Amino acid sequence: TDYILRVDATKYSLDVPDAFSPNGDGINDEIYPQGWGVESYEEFRIYNRYGELVFTGTPDNPAWDGTINGKPAAVDTYYFVVRAKMFDKRIREILHGEFRLIR
């Protein structure tokens, strides 16, 4: 019996965890976009509850370590926007949502 496996290459996923704990224990100390079918994360912006931009990730370094100007950010809810280029190069996904910083 022969089997054929078809893979739909247009499928992708993009997500940001709903919480992280930058407490130096080596577990969940940074937050960053995750997914499959992603060629590059072009932009990862994080805002505080007042709408102030606190972090801008780059394609080379999309991860936030929970600091603002070198100081630990407050335990709070933060808001994000992600723009990513998918491997098919035609799709630019924009994802937005919120996450909780806990210590």
pLDDT bin (cut points 50, 70, 90) of residue 6 is: low
Flag whether 26 is in a domain.
yes
pLDDT of res. 2: 77
What are 23-74's pLDDT values in tens digits? Answer: 999 999 999 999 888 888 889 999 999 999 999 998 888 899 999 999 999 9
Q: What CATH code is carried by the domain that includes residue 73?
A: 2.60.40
Block residue for tokens 């606190």: 54
Residue 67: its pLDDT value, please?
Answer: 98
Residue 18: inside a domain: yes
Q: What does 1-14 look like in DSSP terms, one character per residue?
A: --------TT--EE
Instruction: Tell whether 72 is covered by a domain.
Output: yes
Tokens of 98: 């919120």
- Asked if pLDDT for residue 91 goes beyond 70, the answer is no
User: DSSP letter at 64?
Assistant: B
| Distance in angstroms (rounded) separating the CA atoms of residues 28 and 26 | 7
How many domains, the chain? 1
Q: Which of 98, 47, 93 is nearest to 73 (CA)?
A: 47
Q: Would 32 be classed as within a structural domain? A: yes
Residue 7: which residues within 8 A CB-CB, separation 6 or more? none
User: Is residue 9 very low, low, confident or very high in pLDDT (cuts 50, 70, 90)?
Assistant: low
In the predicted model, is pLDDT for residue 14 greater than 80?
yes
**Residue 34 belongs to some domain of the structure:** yes
| Beta pairing partners, 44 | 57, 82
40 assigned to some structural domain: yes
Residue 7 pLDDT greater than 90, yes or no:
no
Residue 35 domain boundaries: 13-101
The answer to whether position 87 is within a domain reads yes
